Structure 1
């Protein structure tokens, strides 16, 4: 025992263990502990576009103008453009100001003025003043203003749930809380005026005054039930990566047995590609069978899902086969490194990641394009723009990997 403890190899192994644990911690813990919601794009649609709504828009933008703000409000002209933005994954959520917002808030102000006028007139005992034309006009205005309880100004909060589960959870709490704060701020000012003027209100009137702004929530691209709380795209990417990893390793070892002088001929490489395509088909059908048929994952368009799944599995297979053909089994750690770094970032919105992980990992990892395709297919139907981009990027990665696989036929490895 003491001999081993005194050996140099033992201490080299401990250093190696320290480095490996440090890397795993960096990949899995540091990425998650450095999460900070910053500048999530939220659309702001003003369908009323008059004094009160314009002031509200200005107030919201000023409140979240800091570079550290969780939300970044973006003006959108109308709901038609907003829906296209939701489909193309431009906005995580939206605040839509109802077209009657300004008229309702104006009626609230007139109602308050009417109450004040009636209260002041009730205290005037001089009949001459009460019979004057100006006083009569004021009394007539007050009577009309308080004839009906005013309605609240309506604002709709729309959460683009399917775009990203974590971002949706944050905004589902933050946006209603924001509207509640604005509502309470206006209500407090109105109550102060009422109390200052000694006006007494019944319960219905207090209820109306207490809710000058009402918000309702709607969900866009809702995540279906049995979607593993919105993590289904991530799980599908995991299954696609693991199946291609196992397939590439087994097929590489099998083809290596038939190589001469540790050199893969063009015939063997062609065989790798063809058998890889067959294994891709089997893996894709297996993933669909277990995830959807057995465990009930809702998939609306099976043919499209299987096409996307087979495409991604095959791209991963080419990528991993490329590493194995060039580096042999020594390339295995590189494949694991790619996966570990990717797994800690791709499930989060890029706006939630620290600059290190957003630029250093998220921007280049192939898995995020893969996950984007599955997210579009499962949750955001019709998102052709981002899907086309993902397809092009992954195709280029696959073509590059395929080219390197064939170039490896000129490589002769010497292995023990």
Structure 2
């Protein structure tokens, strides 16, 4: 019998790299069809990536498969657009009315789906292992106001570490706080799908930044303060969020209040399904918000990982075009991210970054030596209290970073 081809490449191909591929495919789909909603593009991209990953026996075959499937979809979009233009040319002056009418048809006919006791659930967003739906929670009494909720639907058996929706629910139940998203209820469907129900938030910090809306200094400080209060609380419970980023900071309104959300890869010292404290998974976080210690293989990281990510979020609010402070490239390259960090903060040595001597991957590659830039040059639009706080958060030595409690005591929040 001929032996099966080796699947070893899948063990070295990180989840973060897969996420970057999905996001890359989604962006290409959106550019091919401007009418395509981001959530649908992400859902299609996820399906392409998962199928390609399952069918491939090498990374080269995986890349070839997802590129081929992407090309097929792009060609279908092109044909669809050509048909639309042809129909518009035939309909002539009535096309504007017809277009408006056709846009109303999905809203008039699509009544959503039923999830447990929730009816009329409409797809809102997708992640790699989850789909989020928006639904109306009927009031318990005539005097009670109606409330929109978000239903996060997962299939635990298909999730890969560090993702664990059951652990997420346990952590959220133990960490209730005004600045942490509230888990209203949870249930399992007959199809083995696990559902978590949360209040529905109209905004995230990510959507606020991408809207290019002018945000007042005190408004931004209030949002930062809420996030730090949430981090202070979970850190006091031995919980590391591990994925602090703008899209995981939810806002009820454009000026807050803000809550910390998405604990899907969170770590807790008190949860039996979390990894050992000294051997945590390093494939956590999202591209440009990942701290340097996990890029060099440190598995014993602490809550300071969240403080680095929070510093990156703060800085993003003041960059030109509100782009991320550090750049990992379109495909989330760790080497490109490391180079970007070094160009901003200076290339560290064992004298300036002593803990790196314990990292398995430090010193394996020789990087160019860059001097550290001044914060006023990196973020000339940022107020001094902001740059002073950033200078104490975005530091290589993780033990030297301010804790959430210490950050809340700085001049920015006086």
Assess same fold via TM > 0.5. Answer: no
For the superposition of Structure 1 and Structure 2, which TM-score range results when normalised by the shorter chain?
Answer: under 0.3
**Which TM-score applies when normalising by structure 2?**
0.23
**Which TM-score applies when normalising by structure 1?**
0.23
- Structure number with higher helix proportion: 1
Query: Which is greater in Rg?
Result: 1
